[in-house]
Amino acid sequence: MEKEIVIIGGGPAGITAAITARRYYPNADITLIRKEERVLIPCGIPYIFGTIESPEKNLIPDTIFENYKINLFIDEVTSINKSARTLTTANGKNLNYHKMIMATGSFPLVPPLPGVDLGNVFVVNKELEYVRKLLASLDKAKDVVIIGGGFIGLEFADECNKRGNLNVTLIELLPHCLLLACDEEICIRVEKKLLERGVNILPGRKAKSILGEKNVQYVELENGQKLKADVVILGIGVKPNGKLALNTGLEVDEKKGISVDDFMRTSDKNIFAAGDCASKKCYLSGTPITIGLASIAATEARVAGANLFSMRRRMECAISIFSTCFGNLAIGVAGMTEKKAREFGIDVISAEASSPDKHPGSIPEAQELGVKLVFEKDTGLLIGGQIYGGNAVGEMINIIGAMIQHKMRADEICVFQMGTHPMLTASPIAYQIVNAAQIALMKIKEKR
C-alpha cells in the first residue's frame, strides 16, 4: 500500500513539507488540507498596501500542487483520532493517514485595549478577503495609526505612507522601534529614515484605548494625547496556533507552541509539526523562544518532510535571521544583539566596520554598508550580527547567519575567503565582515 501523508496548513511550512515529502517518498499519497481558497505570501502582505497595490499579485501559486502531484483539499480539519490515525473535516471528509505534519501557523496578537473591536481596527491577518477589506478602508482613510514598532509594524507604516493620501503615525511602547530585534544604533538609523520618508513615530508611548462609536475615530495614549484615526492596524506580534494539536491530545504550550523534538516529531511519533505552530529553542541558551519567520518555518518543514518514515535530519536550534528595507536603507539582524546577550549574562565583545558597498566608493549608487558583530569574549564565538546599507544586506546577513550556525570564531572569520567585484561588493581590503572580526579579535586579545 502506498504511504498516506496528510499535511494540515497551506502556508510556507505546509507547502515546503509537502514538496520535501514528495522528493523523499516519491510513491506516497500526499494530501494537503488548508482552509483558504487562495494563500497569500506572508512576508509580502505589507507590500500589498503600497508597492504592489493588489493582493492578487502576492499569492502562492497553486500550480505547485499539480507539479508535485499533491492532492489539495480546501477544507478545515476539525478533529484527529491519533489512535486510529484518522481525521475529520468540516465538510464531512474522513481521511486516513500513516504520517501527518501539522503546519497550522499562528494567530495575530490582539491587545486587551478598550475599543479594539470597533470598525476599521485591523490585525495583520493572512486571509485574502480580510486584506481586501483593509485595502478598501485605507482607500477612504486620511489618518492611520499603527500600534507596534517591530518589523511588521514599520513595514506597514512605510507602505501605507507610500499610498500618498495618508497621515501615518506609529506608536511603540519601548524607547525605540525594533529594540527587541536590534541594538539602539540600528534602531535610531531606521527611525531617522522613516521620519525622513514622512512617517510620524511616537516611541516610548503606550496606547490606552481606541475611541469611536461604530468605527474608530481616535487612539488615546496613556499620557492623555489623542491621535486622529480612521484606520488602526495592530502589529504587535503573533502566537502559535496549537488549538487543533491540543484538542488532539498532543503536548502543547499555548505560548510556545506544539512540543517537538529535534526531528520535528510531536508527542505522537506519527505526527510532526513545523512552522509558527511548533515550539522552538534558542540556539545559544537552549531555552524556549517564539519566532515567527517563514525562513525558519521552511527549514523546519524540510526536516519534518524528510523524517516522516526515516530519521534523516535534525533541526538545529532556531537562529533569528531578519532583513527589511525602507527606501534605500536595508537592515539585517542575525542571532543575538549585544543588548540581549548582556541581558542573558553573556560577556561579549562587539566590533563594527563600514565602507562603501562598491569599490571605489566613487562608483555611482555606492552607499555605506556597516557591519556589527557580537562575539563571546572568552571563546571568540560569533553569536550575533547586524548590518545596515543597501540591497547587499539581504544576502550578507545570511552569510553571518551561516557563520553563527556553524559556530565560527573571530579568528576563523578573519581568514574568511570572499569573492569581490567593484560593482557588487566592498573592496577586499575593506570587506566589512572580515574587518569587524579582526577588530573584535584585537579587543579580545587586549582583554586577556
Q: What is the pLDDT of residues 217-273, one digit of tens each?
A: 999 999 999 999 999 999 999 999 999 999 999 999 988 999 999 999 999 999 999
Instruction: Give the phi and the psi of residue 32 in degrees, each rounded to 5.
Output: -115, 130
Q: Which amino acid is at 410?
A: A
pLDDT at 448: 67
pLDDT at 252: 96
- Taking a C-beta distance cutoff of 8 angstroms, is the pair 384, 335 a contact? yes
Confidence of residue 285 (pLDDT cuts 50, 70, 90): confident
Q: What angle do CA 226, 232, 238 make, to 5 degrees?
A: 120
- Of 70, 71, 89, 72, nearest in space to 80 by CA: 89
Q: What is the pLDDT of residues 39-52, one digit of tens each?
A: 999 999 999 999 99
- Of 45, 39, 33, 36, nearest in space to 7 by CA: 33
pLDDT at residue 318 is higher than 90: no
pLDDT at 3: 86
pLDDT at residue 62 is higher than 70: yes
pLDDT at 284: 81
pLDDT at residue 87 is higher than 70: yes
Contacts 24+ apart (CB under 8 A), 61-69: 62/38, 64/15, 64/19, 65/18, 65/32, 68/18, 68/19, 68/22, 68/30, 69/22, 69/30
- Taking a C-beta distance cutoff of 8 angstroms, is the pair 235, 153 a contact? yes
pLDDT at 2: 65
pLDDT at residue 399 is higher than 90: yes
Catalogue all structural domains in the chain, each as residue range(s) with its CATH number.
4-106+239-307 (3.50.50.60), 121-236 (3.50.50.60), 322-447 (3.50.50.60)
pLDDT at residue 83 is higher than 50: yes
How far is residue 51 CA from its own chain's centroid?
Answer: 19
CA distance readout (Å), 336 to 346, 419, 435: 11, 27, 20
Torsion of CA 411, 414, 415, 420, to 10 degrees: 160
Confidence of residue 185 (pLDDT cuts 50, 70, 90): very high
- Taking a C-beta distance cutoff of 8 angstroms, is the pair 284, 336 a contact? yes
- Cell 571605489 found at: 360
pLDDT at 445: 84
Q: How many separate helices (H) and strands (E) can be counted in the chain?
A: 11, 27
pLDDT at 209: 97
How far is residue 294 CA from its own chain's centroid?
Answer: 6
- 303 by Cβ neighbours in 10 Å (0-12 / 13-18 / 19+) ranks as buried
On average, the pLDDT of the chain sits at: 95
CA distance readout (Å), 98 to 1, 87, 308: 11, 11, 9
At a CB cut-off of 8 Å and minimum separation 6, what does 108 contact?
A: 123, 124, 125, 234, 237, 238
- Of 408, 414, 403, nearest in space to 441 by CA: 414
d(CA 156, CA 168): 10
Contacts 24+ apart (CB under 8 A), 92-97: 95/4, 95/6, 95/31, 96/4, 97/4, 97/5, 97/6, 97/270
- 91 by Cβ neighbours in 10 Å (0-12 / 13-18 / 19+) ranks as exposed
Q: What is the pLDDT of residues 121-155, one digit of tens each?
A: 999 999 999 999 999 999 999 999 999 999 999 99
- 426 by Cβ neighbours in 10 Å (0-12 / 13-18 / 19+) ranks as buried
pLDDT at residue 362 is higher than 80: yes
Confidence of residue 1 (pLDDT cuts 50, 70, 90): very low
pLDDT at 239: 94
Residues paired with residue 81 on neighbouring β-strands, in sequence order: 86
Task: Locate 156 and state its grid cell.
Answer: 506597514
- Taking a C-beta distance cutoff of 8 angstroms, is the pair 236, 150 a contact? yes
pTM, two decimal places: 0.94
